[in-house]
């Protein structure tokens, strides 16, 4: 499964955020069968207005959102790459996720000790990033020694090892200049050569500015929040501003009371939704939908997936026996009010094996069993 690891220094609000994510999952779908795979893994529904509207239209027996996995990765401290704190164990958890939500503390609270003595999101980020880069250097170095040996072999294997060696040298040089792998300009071939190292700094990042409740409505004016936004902008990634504590409270509220609570705080949607959506985007995921009287449901595929793969997400048999897909746009279905009307207007398309699924497609599959 595709997952997002929540990282950051101690006491920046990671667990609070993770608990809020888990809490909102429980509140939104009390009977989630896969809610508790692991105490550190939360399966979170992806909020989707379109699905909610489809459900209003079809009044199905069941409405099922698509989900995204979050992993609470505790234990990162300065020196982790050398085994401080939970050290290596912690770092191996990062290896398994596909993107990282890096929580940066922007809140003041004299009761919550800051490990570095002051609230400094950019400094904190550098501490964490340095540990991750040191660990990556170690992985690259190990692999380089092996490639060096293999490069002496004659013929094709030797050639391949030489190419790998060259790629590793470039990555190593970048890391030594303080550049995370994700920010290095590498060729496709170089990326392929290091793919199986699952380097920690190769994963996309979402910076999370965790602010105080009091800051929330005017968070944009806070210099620390601005620093986080600037950081994200420099790297070309997203920044999400939220208050972990408030998110945890929102998650506990019944749906109906949430909107009022948010309005009182000067917000329009929970920060968690912004985070889930940012994660979804960073992972390159899109949603297609299925709609009927029995169930309205959102499903996830990788951007670029073709119709048979989408069918396979529902059931492997659907992929194997795929014949064609009937596709309409969710906005057409919602505006026209019924599938029948969409057909009448000629807006229902029949697509084959090569069709590239688009975010917001409503699909029916025809298949052989
Ligand atoms: P972790 O070590 O990064 O997992 O941090 P925790 O989630 O355990 O939070 C550390 C402390 O900071 C706890 O006492 C939280 O209640 C507090 N905290 C977390 N988020 C916020 C926040 O948004 N505002 C304030 N004031 N305190 C927070």
**What CATH number is associated with residue 317?**
3.10.20.30
Ligand 1 atom 14 nearest Cα: 112
353 in the same domain as 340: yes
**pLDDT score for 109:** 79
Interatomic CA distance for residues 88 and 367, integer angstroms: 47
**Nearest atom within ligand 1 for CA of residue 10:** 2
According to DSSP, residue 182 is labeled G
**pLDDT score for 264:** 86
Q: Is residue 187 part of a domain?
A: yes
**pLDDT score for 34:** 41
Tell me the CB-side half-sphere exposure of residue 198, using CA atoms within 13 A.
10
The answer to whether the CB of 270 falls within 8 A of the CB of 43 is no
Residue 35 has pLDDT above 50, yes or no: no
| Complex ipTM > 0.90 | yes
219 in the same domain as 80: yes
Q: Is the CB of 244 under 6 A from ligand 1?
A: yes
The answer to whether the CB of 245 falls within 8 A of the CB of 272 is no
Interatomic CA distance for residues 17 and 243, integer angstroms: 8
- For residues 315-338, give the mean pLDDT: 95
Mutate to test the pocket of ligand 1, among 11, 85, 102 (most ligand atoms within 8 A of CB): 11
Per cent of the chain over pLDDT 70 is 91
Range of the domain at 156: 130-200
Mean pLDDT over each residue of the chain, to the nearest integer? 89
Q: Which residues are annotated as a binding site for ATP?
A: 11-16
Element (H, E) at 107: none
Ligand 1 atom 19 nearest Cα: 13
**Residue 83: burial class (beta carbons within 10 Å; 0-12, 13-18, 19+):** exposed
pLDDT, tens digit, for every residue of 169-181? Answer: 999 999 999 999 9
pTM for the model stands at 0.89
Q: For residue 76, what are the contacts with CB-CB under 8 A and spacing of at least 6?
A: 7, 8, 9, 10, 85, 86, 90, 128, 131
**pLDDT score for 251:** 85
Predicted confidence band of residue 215 (pLDDT cuts 50, 70, 90): confident
The answer to whether the CB of 255 falls within 8 A of the CB of 45 is no
> Tell me, what CATH number does 188's domain have?
1.10.150.300
Residue 45 has pLDDT above 50, yes or no: yes
Residue 126 has pLDDT above 60, yes or no: yes
Q: Is residue 289 part of a domain?
A: no
109 in the same domain as 160: no
According to DSSP, residue 364 is labeled E
- Phi, psi (rounded to 5 degrees) for 284: 70, 40
Gap from CA of 132 to ligand 1 centroid (Å):
23
Residue 104 has pLDDT above 80, yes or no: yes
Residue 83 has pLDDT above 80, yes or no: no
- How does strand 238-242 pair with strand 3-7? unpaired
90 in the same domain as 17: yes
Q: Which of 271, 286, 295 is closest to 208 using CA atoms? A: 271
Gap from CA of 306 to ligand 1 centroid (Å):
43
- For residues 228-253, give the mean pLDDT: 93
Residue 283 has pLDDT above 60, yes or no: yes
Predicted confidence band of residue 184 (pLDDT cuts 50, 70, 90): very high
């Amino acid at each position: 499964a595709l997952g997002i690891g929540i990282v950051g220094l101690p006491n920046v609000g990671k667990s609070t955020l993770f608990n809020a994510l888990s809490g909102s999952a429980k509140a939104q779908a009390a009977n989630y069968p896969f809610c508790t795979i692991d105490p550190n893994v939360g399966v979170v529904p992806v909020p989707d207005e379109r699905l909610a509207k489809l459900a209003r239209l079809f009044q199905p027996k069941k409405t099922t959102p698509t989900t995204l996995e979050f992993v609470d990765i505790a234990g990162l401290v300065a020196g982790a790459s050398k085994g401080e704190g939970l050290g290596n164990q912690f770092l191996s958890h990062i290896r398994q996720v596909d993107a990282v939500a890096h929580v940066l503390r922007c809140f003041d609270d004299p009761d919550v000790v800051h490990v570095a003595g002051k609230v400094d999101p950019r400094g904190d980020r550098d501490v964490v990033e340095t540990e991750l880069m040191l660990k990556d250097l170690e992985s690259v170095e190990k692999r380089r020694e092996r490639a060096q040996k293999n490069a002496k072999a004659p013929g094709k294997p030797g050639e391949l090892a030489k190419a790998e060696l060259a790629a590793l040298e470039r990555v190593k040089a970048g890391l030594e200049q303080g550049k995370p792998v994700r920010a290095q300009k590498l060729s496709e071939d170089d990326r392929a050569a290091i793919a199986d190292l699952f380097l920690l700094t190769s994963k996309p990042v979402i910076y999370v500015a965790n602010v105080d409740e009091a800051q929330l409505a005017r968070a944009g004016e806070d210099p620390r929040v601005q620093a986080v936004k600037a950081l994200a902008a420099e790297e070309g990634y997203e920044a999400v501003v939220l208050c972990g504590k408030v998110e945890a409270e929102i998650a506990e509220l019944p749906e109906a009371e949430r909107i009022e609570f948010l309005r009182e705080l000067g917000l329009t949607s929970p920060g968690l939704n912004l985070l889930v959506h940012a994660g979804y985007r960073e992972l390159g995921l899109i949603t297609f939908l299925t709609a009927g009287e029995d169930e309205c449901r959102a499903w996830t595929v990788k951007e670029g997936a073709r119709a048979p793969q989408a069918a396979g997400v529902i059931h492997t048999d659907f992929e194997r026996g795929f014949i064609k897909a009937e596709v309409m746009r969710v906005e057409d279905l919602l505006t026209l009010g019924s599938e029948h009307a969409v057909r009448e207007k000629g807006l229902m398309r029949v697509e084959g094996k090569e069709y590239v699924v688009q975010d917001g497609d409503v699909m029916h599959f025809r298949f052989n069993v």
